Amino acid sequence: MDISNTENIEKSEGGFICCGCGEWVGFSDSIGTRHRNHCPRCLCSRHLDKEVSGDRSADCGGCMDPVGLTLKHEGTDKYGRPKKGEVMIVHRCRVCGEVSINRMAADDDEREILNMFASSSSMAEAERENFKKRGIRILDDGDKDEVYVQLFGKGFGVR
């Protein structure tokens, strides 16, 4: 697949056709959509970046499936208190197996995010370990409250 002109096409057309569901994905002024890299309906992405987000230097061009959620920048704050990072989508390329994490956008389908989270919660331990070796902790049922709070706000935590 020739992906060398993808960024120019995206800019001139104002969006892209999703490699997962085939729907048109337009850019908008909603939070997280101006430089979006995934479909808000099925959450699939295209493998375009190689080293850093936005570099468009990957040769693959394969479709990247959403396989789980992770937290970006977990750890401790400057006072030593536990810090939860932003919930991110984990994508894996169907062609080459490359893995990346991506920000969610304001118009992403919450049901699709929750369905993907539910299926990744039952991910095999060996697969979880493979992600862990890449520095990615796949969220599980123990993270359900954090996922709900970040998606819907503090009033929607799981009880």
Side chain identity at residue 71, one-letter code: L
List the domain range (segments joined by +) for residue 54. 6-152
**Range in 36-40, 47-51, 154-158 with the lowest mean pLDDT:** 154-158
Q: Percent of the chain beyond pLDDT 90?
A: 46
By the 8 A CB rule, do 75 and 83 touch?
yes
Residue 31 falls within a domain, yes or no?
A: yes
Express each pLDDT in 44-103 by its tens digit: 998 877 676 666 667 788 899 999 999 987 677 788 887 778 999 999 999 999 999 988
Quote the pLDDT of residue 20.
Answer: 95
Q: Between residues 61 and 141, which one has the greater pLDDT?
A: 141
Does a structural domain hold residue 159?
Answer: no
Q: Residue 147 has what pLDDT?
A: 92
Residue 57, domain member (yes or no): yes
1 domain residue, yes or no? no
Residue 97 identity: G
* Residue 62 identity: G
Write out the DSSP string of 18-76.
Answer: -TTT--EEE--SSTT-TT--B-TTT--EE---SSSTT----S---EEEEEEEEEET-EE
The per-residue pLDDT for range 60-73, each reduced to its tens digit, is 888 999 999 999 87
Q: How many separate domains does the chain show?
A: 1
The strand order across the sheet containing 45-46 reads: 45-46, 63-72, 86-93, 99-103
Q: What is the pLDDT of residue 4?
A: 47
Tokens linked to 140: 């599980």
- The more confident residue out of 69 and 29 is 69
Tokens of 89: 């989508």
Question: Is there a domain that residue 157 lies in?
Answer: no
Structural contact between residues 78 and 88, judged by C-beta atoms closer than 8 angstroms: no
Tell if the pTM clears 0.85, that is, is over it: no
What pLDDT was estimated at residue 83?
75
Q: What is the pLDDT of residue 52?
A: 67
The pLDDT of residue 24: 92
Q: Say if 15 falls within a structural domain.
A: yes
On whether residue 148 sits in a domain, the answer given is: yes
Q: Is the pLDDT of residue 112 over 70?
A: yes
